[in-house]
Amino acid sequence: MSVFQHIEFDNHEHLAFCHDKESGLKAIIAIHNTNLGASLGGCRMWPYVSDDEALNDVLRLSKGMTYKAAMAGLNQGGGKAVIIGDPRKIKTIGLMRAMGRFVDSLGGKYISAEDSGMSVTDLKIMAEHSSHIAGIEAKYHVFGEHADGNPAPSTAYGVFVGLKSTVEFALNKDLTGIKVAIQGLGHVGLRLVEHLYKAGATSYVTDIYPENVDKAVSQFGAIAVKPEDIYDVDADVFAPCAMGAILNPLTIARLKVKVVAGAANNQLATEDCGQLLKDKHILYAPDYVINAGGIIDIYHQKIPSSHEAMRAHLERISTTLTEVYVRAEELNLATNVVANQIAEERFNKKA
């Protein structure tokens, strides 16, 4: 199959196929667009069943990073890396070192960070061989919370402020007494429950691990729901904070909420699900706009900044979402379509 004809190719600027014989590393680095600045995006390690599957994933993810960075107001482009293989079986120090050298060979056009299957420890090994690794130390923290470079606290805060402004736009209300159904109580979801609790909202929560649910119930007065029942909760907001592609015609038909606003990446099973939400009068916060807190955090760790500047930047997520909602109303379009339009306007105009 021709890479240039690939269905996800979409004008990628640079693709690097990386192989290191000694460590066995097989990886692909994709740089989608650098009009606004060097590309930034995580490095994922995954047991892809084929090279094609890995290529498809890296192309899709790096393009997504261009849109996310543009909407987050960063002078940054979009890129991503994937390492082919099961992290629990083949990850070695030698493999991480080789990956660091490949990232370095691109001379800063691609800045790597954490993604599934990778840890801050792995990135630190890569950073021994490249200065183009981000998210390995946190100088600025939201609310003084200790962070090791994992941007989840910032993502959770960004989702919280974005959810708040989406509720204001859709329901003309603050969060007092608002009911939020949250799917997934991991690094982001549990922190979101805490923010909502402090703001006077009630969370209906689910996770496949009961201990995560117990924490939300005991610490933040949340109400437990079975995983299969989360779409049916009679709430105001649905906040997907687990996996992607969960909004499809069947789940959307079950929703009783007026707002969808959560952290998960790629929430829409297909782009036309955005229109289905609109048809049901559900205001959808486009995922890559509301969950940009992580990339904003990583960006601030790389530049001379401050706790206050990072927090103010995270809070601008709500302004960006409102811009999307106003234009979507004016043009009578789904919010995901409008977010794409605004992102394209931004990154097609060179910095």
The whole-angstrom separation of Cα 51 and Cα 58 is 11
Nearer to ligand NAD, 263 or 321 (CB): 263
Which among 7-15, 58-66, 89-97, 261-269 is the span making contact with ligand NAD, rule CB under 6 A?
261-269
Q: Say whether residue 291 binds ligand NAD (CB under 6 A).
A: yes
Nearer to ligand NAD, 125 or 138 (CB): 138
The answer to the question of whether 187 is labelled as a binding residue is yes
What are the residues whose beta carbons fall under 8 Å from the beta carbon of 272, sequence distance 6 or more?
A: none
Place of tokens 């890296």: 58
Residue in 3, 243, 326, 331 binding ligand NAD, rule: CB under 6 A: 243
Residue 80 a catalytic site member: yes
CB 52, CB 1: distance < 8 Å: yes
Residue from 149, 151, 274, 286 touching ligand NAD (CB under 6 A): that is: 151
To the question of whether residue 186 is assigned a binding role by annotation, the answer is yes
φ/ψ bin of 246: left (φ > 0), alpha (ψ from -120 to 50), beta (otherwise)? alpha
Site size with ligand NAD, rule: CB under 6 A: 25
Phi, psi angles (nearest 5°) of residue 350? -65, 150
- Whether the CB-CB separation of 28 and 14 falls below 8 Å is answered with no
Strand 179-183 and strand 202-206: the pairing is: parallel
Q: Is 264 one of the binding residues for ligand NAD (CB under 6 A)?
A: yes
Give yes or no for a contact between 170 and 258, defined as CB atoms under 8 angstroms apart: yes
Q: Please give the C-alpha separations between residue 305 and each of 73, 127, 138, 158, in angstroms, as whole numbers.
A: 15, 21, 11, 18
Question: Exactly one of 54, 96, 113, 152 binds ligand NAD (CB under 6 A); which one?
Answer: 152
- Locate tokens 């004016």: which residue? 330
Instruction: Out of 82, 193, 242, 339, name the contact with ligand NAD by CB under 6 A.
Output: 242
By the rule CB under 6 A, 241 interacts with ligand NAD: yes
Taking CB positions, which residue lies at the least distance from ligand NAD? 186
167 belongs to the binding site for ligand NAD (CB under 6 A) = no
Report how far residue 82's alpha carbon sits from residue 3's, in angstroms, rounded to the nearest whole number.
Answer: 16
According to the binding rule CB under 6 A, does residue 324 interact with ligand NAD?
no
Under rule CB under 6 A, residue 60 binds ligand NAD: no
**Which of 28, 31, 263, 334 touches ligand NAD (CB under 6 A)?**
263
Interface with ligand NAD in residues 186-225 (CB under 6 A): 186-189, 206-209, 212
Q: Which of 80, 109, 164, 258 is catalytic?
A: 80
Q: What is the largest CA-CA distance in the chain?
A: 60
Identity of the residue, 241 or 328, whose beta carbon is nearer to ligand NAD in the bound complex: 241
Please report where in the chains the tokens 């989406």 appear, as a residue. 166
User: Is 221 known as a binding-site position?
Assistant: no
Minimum gap (Å) between residue 314 Cβ and ligand NAD: 12
- Concatenated DSSP letters of 91-139: --HHHHHHHHHHHHHTTTSEEEEE-TT--HHHHHHHHTS-S-B-SS--S
Which stretch, 52-60, 92-100, 241-249, 311-319, contacts ligand NAD (CB under 6 A)? 241-249
List binding-site positions for NAD(+): 184-189
**Residues catalogued as catalytic:** 80
Task: Using CB under 6 A, list all residues that contact ligand NAD.
Answer: 151-152, 155, 183-189, 206-209, 212, 227, 241-244, 263-265, 291, 294
